[in-house]
């Protein structure tokens, strides 16, 4: 579809209707195959653009509480969630308890903006429990879209984190927290909510990590599909079977932490579908490198994205590791960029080193125009180094 505007002031101007009709005529003169929409942050019946009839779909930016009654307001019209959600997460950080919802950077109390108490280290919980005050969590957005057939779908703000708009914080935060995927391309946990709802892939994703203090009360979530139930185990002792009820999108166990292994088993008609485990990680001991592609084109443009993992001696990701990693390249490629997904990192995206964030960093290799073998080596003080080979041809 084509959009003629996003949150523009003419929504409530006498010029809004004529301008919308003029823009619609220009677009229809160029392309009659796609419907028109505009994105309205004030989608009430005083909206002059909607009233003009210029658009084929009525776009709602947020206002999720009004979605179920859309046809009461606009009988016979077609709905699209033109901007939704604006939930906030830092990959790999978790705040207990997980069933408390936070509205940051302020809450609306009695019609007034009241500053919210936020984390001094500029972190945001990855449990889908923090959202902008005008917005909704991922689950709050998806549930009504899933429930009501006349709600045609939604655009999520946002798929990826991006530079700028570091809501809910200010400097030194310098990138957004809105993404389903962080700035380095690493999935946040809520990625697996959408994977379980929107794909045919078998999904069982449990979180958080399993490095806490003895006796801590930790909420363990599971996103899953293609199963009737999930059973959770702590060090091989069952913590019970959970099933989604009603419109649930996840299940939760409140667990008293002890080190070891947390394991989830999903079943369908009694048969195991998937099993996932998370182990308590020991001290950071080595680096692991994983390339998304080990063969790339020698055209001077192709890329291989290499995930850098800080692990213990047994290969478990160390969930709080922030080691500085140095990179060297030999062969027909160079480092196009480095990152770790942190919204607060002020390190350069260019260079030959970068710190990890919650155990992960990224190095992007770019080919030259010569075919050959490329070796990437990653080192860090006190850690066993890692090497990976990429072929360009």
Active site residues: 7, 83
CA torsion 212-306-276-98 (nearest 10°) is 40
The candidate with the shortest Cα–Cα distance to 313, out of 262, 210, 382, is 382
> Cα dihedral angle (21, 23, 29, 30), rounded to 10 degrees?
-150
**Separation CA 272–CA 307 (nearest Å):** 30
| Cβ partners under 8 Å of residue 316, min gap 6 | 279, 280, 281, 282
Distances (CA, A) of 325 to 310, 312, 347, 388: 9, 15, 12, 15
How far apart (Å, rounded) are the C-alpha atoms in residues 194 and 180?
Answer: 9
- Neighbour count for residue 195 (Cβ, 10 Å): 17
Residue with tokens 């207990």: 96
161 near 181, Cβ under 8 Å?
yes
Beta-carbon contacts of 226 under 8 Å, excluding residues fewer than 6 positions away, are: 202, 203, 266, 268, 273
Give whole-number Cα distances, 213 to 100, 138, 210, 256, 302, in Å. Answer: 21, 29, 10, 10, 44
Nearest alpha carbon to residue 194 among 153, 232, 162: 153
Nearest partner of 188 among 343, 28, 344, judged by Cα:
343
DSSP string, 128-150: S-EE-TTS--HHHHHHHHHH-TT
Q: Which letter does DSSP use for residue 220 in this model?
A: E
Distance separating alpha carbons of residues 146 and 386, to the nearest angstrom: 45
Q: Is the peptide bond before 208 cis (omega within 30 degrees of 0)?
A: yes
């Amino acid at each position: 579809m084509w959009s003629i505007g996003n949150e523009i002031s003419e929504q409530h101007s006498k010029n809004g209707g004529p301008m919308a009709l003029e823009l619609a005529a220009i677009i229809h003169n160029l392309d009659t195959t796609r419907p028109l929409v505009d994105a309205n942050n004030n989608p009430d019946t005083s909206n002059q653009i909607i009233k003009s009839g210029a658009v084929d779909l009525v776009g709602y930016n947020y206002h999720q509480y009004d979605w179920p009654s859309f046809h009461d307001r606009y009988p016979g019209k077609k709905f699209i969630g033109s901007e939704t959600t604006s939930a906030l997460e830092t990959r790999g950080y978790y705040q207990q308890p997980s069933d408390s919802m936070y509205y940051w950077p302020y809450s609306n109390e009695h019609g007034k903006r009241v500053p919210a108490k936020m984390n001094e280290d500029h972190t945001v919980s990855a449990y889908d429990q923090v959202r902008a005050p005008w917005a909704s969590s991922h689950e709050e957005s998806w549930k009504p879209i899933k429930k009501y057939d006349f709600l045609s779908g939604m655009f999520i703000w946002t798929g990826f984190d991006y530079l700028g708009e570091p809501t809910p914080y200010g400097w030194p935060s310098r990138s957004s927290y809105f993404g389903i995927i962080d700035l380095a391309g690493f999935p946040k946990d809520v990625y697996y909510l959408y994977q379980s709802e929107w794909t045919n892939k078998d999904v069982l994703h449990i979180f958080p990590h399993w490095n806490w203090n003895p006796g801590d009360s930790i909420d363990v979530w599971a996103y899953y599909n293609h199963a009737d139930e999930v059973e959770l185990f702590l060090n091989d002792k069952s913590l019970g079977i959970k099933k989604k009820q009603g419109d649930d999108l996840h299940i939760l166990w409140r667990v008293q932490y002890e080190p070891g292994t947390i394991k989830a088993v999903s079943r369908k008609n009694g048969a195991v579908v998937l099993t996932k485990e998370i182990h308590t990680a020991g001290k950071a001991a080595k680096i692991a490198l994983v390339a998304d592609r080990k063969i790339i084109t020698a055209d001077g443009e192709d890329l291989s994205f290499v995930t850098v993992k800080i692990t213990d001696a047994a290969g478990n990701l160390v969930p709080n590791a922030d080691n500085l990693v140095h990179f060297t390249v030999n062969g027909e490629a160079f480092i196009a960029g480095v990152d770790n997904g942190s919204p607060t990192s002020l390190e350069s995206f260019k260079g030959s080193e970068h710190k990890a964030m919650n155990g992960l960093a990224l190095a992007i290799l770019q080919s030259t125009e010569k075919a050959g073998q490329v070796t990437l080596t990653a080192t860090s003080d006190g850690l066993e180094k890692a090497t990976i080979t990429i072929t360009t041809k």
